[in-house]
Chain A
Amino acid sequence: MKLHVTDHDGAQHELAALPGWRVMEIVRDWDLPIKAECGGACACATCHVYVGTGWFDRLPETTEEEHDQLELLADRRTNSRLACQVLMSDELDGLKITLAPGSRR
């Protein structure tokens, strides 16, 4: 299972992912500089990512809790999500994301 990540400097990474893992956890596990300061509690919005074309509608629904966090981001786009709120699954094999500027550690 793969996760494709474009980092803050534009470099591309193909990361081995595991089902059930949060996308944030996979990015952190591979030592890419994602801040994720609350550790996955949906409380800080510092794991903000942009979801690649064609993938956004295939992700699980955004909860109100996540929506509240996204609302406060200056660099929010229509394809913004918090990486801690997306769990990898077979359907998401090959998911493409870009780390948003505010998520840099």
Chain B
Amino acid sequence: MAVYLLKRLLLAVPTLFGASIIIFLLIHIAPGDPVRVMLGPMDDPALRAKIVHQLGLDLPLHEQYLRWLGKAVQGDFGISVTIQRGSPVLELLAQRYSVTLELAFLSTIIALLIAVPAGITSALRQNRLSDHIARIVAMVGVSVPNFFLGIMLILIIGVSLHQPWATGGFVPLSKGLSENLIRMLLPAIALGTAYSAIIMRMLRSSMLDIMSQDYVRTARAMGIGWRSIVRQDIVKNALIPVTTVMGNSIGYLLGGSIITETIFRLPGMGRLIIIGVDRRDYPVIQGVVLSIVLIRIIVNLSVDILYSVIDPRIRYGAEGE
């Protein structure tokens, strides 16, 4: 177990390292002087010198990278240049991530609430009407862009039904849990719908896979009730691959929250990166992207490890290599 864990960790390090090089280079890919690009009309010599120094742009490229990486490892993601000049990027990230993570969490709950019953019903009633309907709805669910769904939710519930909570905007948790949750409901549905369709399809196909296995037939032959087989064996085992798919979908949730936050005017990190791109605030863009990649790698690693705990075959397979 320890060997496997170490192996997975060691594999993640070079990936993270490589990603940090790409993210560092973002500021240098664009042709022209990054400081002029960032400051635009605000460009003046004193400010320019300060920013060049802050970003270490006067150093050779490899030294710049090492300095940037060394600071990033210590949690110093630099200083915002145009959005909120002088504020540490980490501070901006901390303020904004609470919103994004809450959105991601609520979307996952909504996705599971829809996907688990729908997936189980669909698999157990394979090729009956309810299965066909569930699968067609899931197909449409996967295909509907979350920005279209979000706008239609605002239009139908917020505008046509005159529900003030359904028109977007954010209420911080400190102003009351219920007020906060009701504002987050539609964004979570907009983000969670496609996610639920992904989970439902995976659950259905992995249940069908298990239902065709010999041990299920043996259990039935032994006279064990179908309901208890479904509950004890099929659903439990089918949820294992579903967990992996969910872990891999963290990228979808973080990417999707950029759009969802834009539609519903939520002050999360998705909004932050869009403003960052708009105002050419390179340290902010770098900070957001680095944090997203970091979260994604950590979540994937955790899922892999969790998976190897649940299913020892994986671990032995990897160790045997």
- The answer to whether A and B belong to the same complex is no
Question: Which A residues are closer than 8 A to B by beta carbons?
Answer: none
Question: Which B residues are closer than 8 A to A by beta carbons?
Answer: none
